Every structure is written in structure tokens, then in C-alpha cells.
Amino acid sequence: MPVTLILEGTVRGTGGIRIVNDSCGTKVPGLYAAGDAASREFLAGLASGGGGPNAAWAISTGQWAGVGAAAFAKSLGAHAHERVMHPAGEAGLRSPSPSPASETFDSEAIGRGVQAQMFPLEKNYLRSEQGLLDSLAKLETLWQQVRGNPKQDTVRDVEFYRRAAALTAVARWAYFSALHRTESRSEHIRMDYPETDPNQRYYQATGGLDRLWVRRDWLTDAVATPPVPTIQTTPSVSKL
């Protein structure tokens, strides 16, 4: 029995978020995502997905992304070198107001600073409003630093400074989103809200750089039917 998969939307009927299309293409033309970068929640939902599904997701999306990227490259044909590129990144790549005289920030100290907020179980696993606010204040300080002047002398610099910005951005998104979900649900555990709130059945997206945001997409359908275990008898995967 072929496996049916829906890539767009979280689960059928939830009105969820589009992260990648059926070819694993993102909103940036020519940029394809696979594996965790394509968000494995399509497969594992709120659970960790341990035991194999995540690996299967990485391999499957890798194949789809490869096919999609190859088709995109082929579609450009002889015009491939005529495209005009506009750099979009700032944090960790270049300062909003570049000044050669200004000091660069310390990318490794940023990494350690993010880890100090993300690694301790009492901060990340046993969450509370006060704890999240304290961590967000510290992460905000780190964010102000990564908005400064990155070092760009070597390829290693480019990687490490961009990584410092990415780590800080993701940590802020995680805790900002956690702050706004005032309940415990799956792996999100709030000590001050230990119960799952049936009134908070929404998909929460978060983002933003200098100004963070959360957006809620309410689930309007009945509780999703648990998947029926099936045995795949053919190697093919069909997509809706």
C-alpha cells in the first residue's frame, strides 16, 4: 500500500504553516530544504520522533529536494548566470551600519552565552514565566552584540559569526514562543502551567529578528484520527 504524505500544512485540516512545497522548495527561488531544516513536524508532530522516523524524513526529503533542485536548475537553462542576486542577510554577516573602526564581537562567547540559557534542564525543560523572561533578557543582550560588526577575514570567520547569530536567533524564538504558550503540551513543560489546556489547540509559529512575534493558527477540526499502521508493499511514495 503506497504511503500518502502531505507536505504542505501541518496535518490535514489544521490550516497549518507552509514551510516547504511538495518539492521541498522554500519561498526563496532555488533554495531547497531537507531533513530537520524542512521541519520534521509534518511527520512526527509534537513528539520527538525517536526510533527512526526522523532519519526516514531526512532521507526522503533529501531525495525530493534533490529532484526539485535539479528541475529548478534545468529550468534556468542558458540563463543560469544572468540572475541578479541581492544579499539579504545582516546579523552575523554585516553590521547594519558598517564602521571599520568598530570592534567585532566574540562569536565563541556568543555561543557559550546561548548554551548557558539553552542547556540547563531547569531553564529549558522545566520552564516558567520568570525563567523564560530572565533568559530572554540575557539572549536580547547577546542579540544586540551579534547585530554589531562581524569578523569576516576568513571562511571560518564567516561561518562562526553567522552561526553565532543563528544560534541566538533560534534561542530567542524558542523561549519567546514558550513564554506565550501558557500550558504544558508534549515536550513543552511549564512548571507554572503543568496541565494541557484544551482551549489552546493552536499551531504557534514564531519569528522576527529585532522584534519577535508569535502567530497562532487555531485548529478548527475535530481531534485528528490516530494514524493506522500500514505496511508499505511498494517502494514508491505518492504525494497528494
Ligand X SMILES: Cc1cc2nc3c(=O)[nH]c(=O)nc-3n(C[C@H](O)[C@H](O)[C@H](O)COP(=O)(O)OP(=O)(O)OC[C@H]3O[C@@H](n4cnc5c(N)ncnc54)[C@H](O)[C@@H]3O)c2cc1C
Residue 215 C-beta: closest distance to ligand X, Å: 25
Residue 165 C-beta: closest distance to ligand X, Å: 12
Question: Around Cβ 126, how many Cβ atoms within 10 Å?
Answer: 12
CB closer to ligand X out of 6 and 58: 58
Binding pattern to ligand X, positions 33-72, x when CB under 6 A? Answer: --xxx--x--------xxxxxxx--x--------------
CB closer to ligand X out of 52 and 235: 52
Q: Which helix (H) or strand (E) holds 60?
A: helix 53-76
Residue 63 C-beta: closest distance to ligand X, Å: 12
Residue 167 contacts residue 110 (beta carbons within 8 Å): yes
CB closer to ligand X out of 9 and 35: 35
Nearest of 217, 218, 210, 200 to residue 176 by alpha carbon: 210
Residue 34 C-beta: closest distance to ligand X, Å: 6
**Selected binder of ligand X within 159, 192, 197, 221 (CB under 6 A):** 159
**Whole-number Å distance between alpha carbons of 151 and 66:** 33
Residue with cell 529536494: 65
The residue type of 232 is Q
CB closer to ligand X out of 159 and 192: 159
Distance of CA 52 to the CA centre of its chain: 20
- The pairing of beta strand 202-207 with beta strand 213-218: antiparallel
Residues near ligand X (CB under 6 A): 35-37, 40, 49-55, 58, 159
